[in-house]
């Protein structure tokens, strides 16, 4: 794993100047444990610049951070009570609900870019060419749904392809070996691999379907601490708004912290809306259709009602 270096980049518009002091446990009565995915700009800006600590510590709330490679393991950690809140793509919450994780959608985040990539020398040129091919993606991730929708658009039954359920690092290795025919992946992996010699983009998420990401939280935590959740979502929204007008600075911040090449990180951020929106039925409207799609295909064993999991801050 690439070691982290201290980030001195400031967020002046929000008064979030970075410091050298590490986050540490205090004698706080309350704790907010946040999960984040390595490379997610909004959460990483908040972590590196201690924005949430500055907001919540004076209220007697300690902030702790845990890193995850992608969404499903994060929500599993949330299900068992190891973390309280975190951002994931559109599909992990559906699998978590099937597993009775008892989580709530507390904010919506218009997704950055994803794509279906093909390796050097591939003869695939359209989505229709995916029939009978090996497609790698993370099971239960946003890439899973993107693949399913892409196949629907191409008129290819899901059982007419060979899905390979691989975490991003394993999928990247398989892609480089040429042992898979296509790879469905999100930024910043997409931004890193799209410029490698011979790699082609078969289709982008923009061409396939609009996707949201979501901030999820433990139901019990939200019920006990609605004030913390409300303040946290609002602060993430302010950080996102700042990041949207300081993309080169944020790209450097995240690149320094993760080892993702800065040009790739900037490419990723330039196509990311960088917004955090209050939760509503409107910005979750694609979730019931996705859940129904997965149930009809037998990918999940039971039908679910996503609407029951939406939290309204002022309700």
pLDDT tens-digit map of 146-158: 999 999 999 999 9
In the numeric block, the tokens 């289709």 are attached to 203
Task: Please tell us whether the domain made up of 114-208 is placed in CATH 3.40.190.10.
Answer: yes
Q: Where are the alpha helices (DSSP H) in 3-125?
A: 41-48, 51-56, 71-79, 92-98
pLDDT at residue 280, rounded to an integer: 81
- Strands, sheet with 114-118, edge to edge from the N-terminal-most edge strand: 162-165, 134-137, 182-186, 114-118, 200-204
CA-to-CA distance for 28 and 193, rounded, in angstroms? 43
- Encode pLDDT of 178-223 as tens digits: 999 999 999 999 999 999 999 999 999 999 998 899 999 999 999 9
What's the whole-number mean pLDDT along residues 261-288? 92
pLDDT at residue 247, rounded to an integer: 97
In the chain, where are the structural domains located?
Answer: 27-110+211-309, 114-208
pLDDT at residue 8, rounded to an integer: 25
Given phi > 0 = left and psi -120 to 50 = alpha, else beta, which region is 140? Answer: left
CATH architecture of 27-110+211-309: 3-Layer(aba) Sandwich (3.40)
pLDDT at residue 284, rounded to an integer: 82
SS3 112: coil
CA-to-CA distance for 286 and 210, rounded, in angstroms? 9
What's the whole-number mean pLDDT along residues 11-21? 30
The two domains 27-110+211-309 and 114-208 share their CATH topology (first three levels equal): yes
Instruction: Place 239 in a pLDDT band, splitting at 50, 70 and 90.
Output: very high
pLDDT at residue 315, rounded to an integer: 58
- Encode pLDDT of 289-315 as tens digits: 999 999 999 999 999 999 889 998 765
Task: Please confirm whether the linkage preceding 188 is cis (ω < 30° from 0).
Answer: yes
SS3 277: strand
Task: Tell me: pLDDT of 83 over 80.
Answer: yes
- Encode pLDDT of 22-75 as tens digits: 334 444 479 999 999 988 999 999 998 899 999 999 999 999 999 998 999 999
- Encode pLDDT of 153-179 as tens digits: 999 999 999 999 999 999 999 999 999
Mean per-residue pLDDT of the chain: 89
- Encode pLDDT of 101-143 as tens digits: 999 999 999 999 999 999 999 999 999 999 999 999 999 999 9
């Amino acid at each position: 794993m690439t070691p982290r270096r201290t980030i001195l980049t400031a967020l002046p518009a929000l008064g979030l100047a970075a410091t050298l002091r590490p986050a540490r446990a205090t004698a706080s009565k309350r704790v907010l444990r946040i999960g984040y995915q390595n490379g997610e700009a909004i959460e990483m800006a908040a972590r590196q610049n201690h924005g949430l600590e500055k907001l919540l510590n004076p209220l007697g709330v300690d902030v702790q951070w845990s890193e995850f490679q992608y969404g499903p393991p994060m929500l599993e950690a949330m299900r068992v009570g190891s973390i309280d809140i975190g951002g994931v793509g559109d599909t992990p919450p559906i699998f978590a609900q099937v597993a009775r994780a008892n989580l709530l959608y507390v904010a919506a985040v218009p997704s950055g870019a994803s794509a279906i990539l093909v390796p050097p020398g591939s003869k695939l040129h359209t989505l229709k060419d995916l029939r009978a091919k090996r497609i790698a993606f993370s099971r239960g991730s946003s890439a899973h749904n993107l693949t399913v929708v892409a196949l629907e658009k191409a008129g290819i039954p899901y059982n007419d392809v060979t899905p390979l359920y691989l975490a991003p690092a394993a999928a990247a290795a398989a892609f480089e070996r040429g042992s898979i025919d296509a790879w469905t992946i999100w930024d910043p992996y997409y931004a890193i691999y799209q410029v490698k010699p011979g790699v082609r983009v078969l289709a982008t998420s923009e061409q396939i379907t609009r996707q949201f990401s979501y901030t999820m939280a433990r139901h019990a935590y939200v019920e006990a601490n609605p004030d913390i959740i409300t303040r946290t979502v609002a602060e993430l929204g302010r950080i996102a708004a700042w990041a949207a007008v300081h993309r080169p600075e944020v790209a450097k911040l995240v690149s320094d912290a993760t080892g993702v090449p800065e040009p790739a990180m900037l490419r990723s951020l330039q196509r990311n809306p960088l917004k955090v929106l209050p939760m509503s039925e409107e910005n979750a409207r694609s979730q019931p259709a996705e859940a129904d799609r997965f149930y009809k295909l037998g990918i999940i064993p039971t039908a679910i009602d996503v609407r029951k999991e939406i939290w309204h801050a002022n309700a």
